[in-house]
Amino acid sequence: MNTKVSIVKCDDYSKARDAIKEALDLIGGLEKIISPGNRVLLKPNVLAIKRPEAAVTTHPVIVSAMCELVKEAGGIPIVGDGSGVTSSASTATAEALRVSGIEEAALTSGAELINFETSGFVEVDISGAKQFPRLHIAKAVLDADVIISLPKLKTHELTLYTGAVKNFFGVIPRKDRKDAHFLEDRDRFGDAVVDIYSFVKPHLAVMDGIVGMEGDGPSAGTPISSGVIMASYDCVALDVVASELIGFDPLQIPTNKAALARGFGTKKPEVVGTPLEKVKIQFKKPTGGALALMPPFFRRILRKQFTVKPFINTSICTLCKACVLNCSVDAIEEKNGSLKINEDKCIQCYCCRELCPSHAVEIKKSLLVRIVTRGKK
């Protein structure tokens, strides 16, 4: 695999398209990975319901530029993601796509927009997995011919840095994400992220490093002008260079360590374009994050307590069975003339809640979730 990483200076989103084109040309161009008619899945970071200036999500200008460039290369652009946990459960991704400007960017560029939460998951085997031998992966990932990561350059309280590899955490449902977050330590979490990455096998990463996030990322940090666009066919190589660019030791980043140990990427990628030394900037490190600092036994307890479970309000349900037909893990079962969600099978994707025409699928939040999300939208 070509592990070159390109860096192009860019301090303004109005110049992003040209910078992306230059970064892509420096490594060999989009045509190397896209054939005419290919379905090209663009995976931005749509972590939360935040406006672009909050620097939590990939800037919409990056998404529209990539949609246009994919079309020019003969591909069919598709933009998709599933956001992180919020108190509003099934509406979170739809709202995050809208508020981040990514929905508008995708649709005005003629791309298809896919909400991973409501488009279904497929259970797959992860060969060589270190943490999760079986995972649910968004259907859109399996349907794509080409997969491109569009990460935001940010710090992360658990993995210290988040970029092209960690971006694929968004392709699994929230229940699997929660299980990964509550693993005993950072290194195991890094291994879990690489389990996902090893299955997805992305073809390219283009990083939004024009404005990044320092401090307590990925969502509670501070925006910082970092002035770069980066590209690489190898997500791990890009992450190694990007974490060094923000003043971190790349070999201390759990996702980098886990990926390199499994033979992905390289410790010393070739940098093309602007030399790394000319764009290095020191990001403030995350202070740790409550979860990362907790002792393992306490995390195991919390994992059981942190739940947002769907349930069917049988007094409203009309038994139309739209939910049964669309539950990808067959978790909705009929008993004594009414429907019930089997909690052991449910992956908390909330598709049933989204699709129910009678709004009969409600959610039950544990006390811990109610405390953590109190006051949040």
Name which of residues 114 to 133 contact ligand SF4 (CB under 6 A): none
Q: Per CB under 6 A, does 138 bind ligand SF4?
A: no
Indicate which single residue of 10, 111, 331, 369 sits in contact with ligand SF4 (rule: CB under 6 A): 331
Which of helix, strand or coil describes residue 330? Answer: coil
Residue closer to ligand SF4 by CB (options 277, 344) is 344
Residue closer to ligand SF4 by CB (options 11, 334) is 334
Q: Per CB under 6 A, does 338 bind ligand SF4?
A: no
Phi, psi of 251 (to 5 degrees): -85, 0
Question: Which one of the spans 156-164, 273-281, 299-307, 348-356 is the region binding ligand SF4 (CB under 6 A)?
Answer: 348-356
C-alpha distances (whole Å) from 151 to each of 102, 170, 257, 348 are: 13, 11, 19, 25
- Record the tokens describing residue 59, joined without a space: 């800037």
CB contact at 8 A, 27 and 231: yes
Rounded distance between C-alpha atoms, residue 42 and residue 4, angstroms: 20
Indicate which single residue of 76, 210, 236, 349 sits in contact with ligand SF4 (rule: CB under 6 A): 349
Indicate which single residue of 220, 276, 322, 368 sits in contact with ligand SF4 (rule: CB under 6 A): 322
Which of helix, strand or coil describes residue 219? Answer: coil
Count residues contacting ligand SF4 (CB under 6 A)?
A: 26
Indicate which single residue of 7, 172, 361, 369 sits in contact with ligand SF4 (rule: CB under 6 A): 361
- Taking the complex as a whole, the smallest distance from the CB of residue 182 to ligand SF4 amounts, in Å, to 19
CA nearest 372: which of 284, 283, 306?
Answer: 306
Phi, psi of 155 (to 5 degrees): -80, 165
Q: Per CB under 6 A, does 363 bind ligand SF4?
A: no
Indicate which single residue of 220, 329, 363, 368 sits in contact with ligand SF4 (rule: CB under 6 A): 329
Indicate which single residue of 278, 321, 364, 376 sits in contact with ligand SF4 (rule: CB under 6 A): 321
Name which of residues 274 to 313 contact ligand SF4 (CB under 6 A): 310, 312
- Bond before 218 cis per omega within 30 degrees: yes
- Taking the complex as a whole, the smallest distance from the CB of residue 316 to ligand SF4 amounts, in Å, to 7
- Taking the complex as a whole, the smallest distance from the CB of residue 213 to ligand SF4 amounts, in Å, to 30
Indicate which single residue of 1, 293, 319, 367 sits in contact with ligand SF4 (rule: CB under 6 A): 319
CB contact at 8 A, 189 and 296: no
Other beta carbons within 10 angstroms of residue 375's beta carbon come to 5
Residue closer to ligand SF4 by CB (options 49, 341) is 341
Rounded distance between C-alpha atoms, residue 365 and residue 46, angstroms: 23
Which of helix, strand or coil describes residue 90? Answer: helix
Rounded distance between C-alpha atoms, residue 362 and residue 39, angstroms: 35
Rounded distance between C-alpha atoms, residue 83 and residue 219, angstroms: 12
Residues 6+ apart with CB under 8 A from 141: 41, 147, 171, 200
Q: Per CB under 6 A, does 325 bind ligand SF4?
A: no
- Taking the complex as a whole, the smallest distance from the CB of residue 63 to ligand SF4 amounts, in Å, to 27
Q: Per CB under 6 A, does 360 bind ligand SF4?
A: yes
Question: Which one of the spans 17-25, 75-83, 137-145, 343-351 is the region binding ligand SF4 (CB under 6 A)?
Answer: 343-351
Residue closer to ligand SF4 by CB (options 206, 312) is 312
Q: Quick one: how far is CA 256 from the chain centroid?
A: 16
CA nearest 200: which of 118, 119, 132, 153?
Answer: 132
Q: Per CB under 6 A, does 318 bind ligand SF4?
A: yes
Q: Per CB under 6 A, does 111 bind ligand SF4?
A: no
Indicate which single residue of 119, 155, 243, 348 sits in contact with ligand SF4 (rule: CB under 6 A): 348
Q: Per CB under 6 A, does 85 bind ligand SF4?
A: no
Q: What is residue 39's DSSP assignment? A: E
Phi, psi of 314 (to 5 degrees): -70, -15
Q: Which residues bind ligand SF4 (CB under 6 A)?
A: 310, 312, 317-323, 327, 329, 331-332, 339, 341, 346-352, 356, 358, 360-361
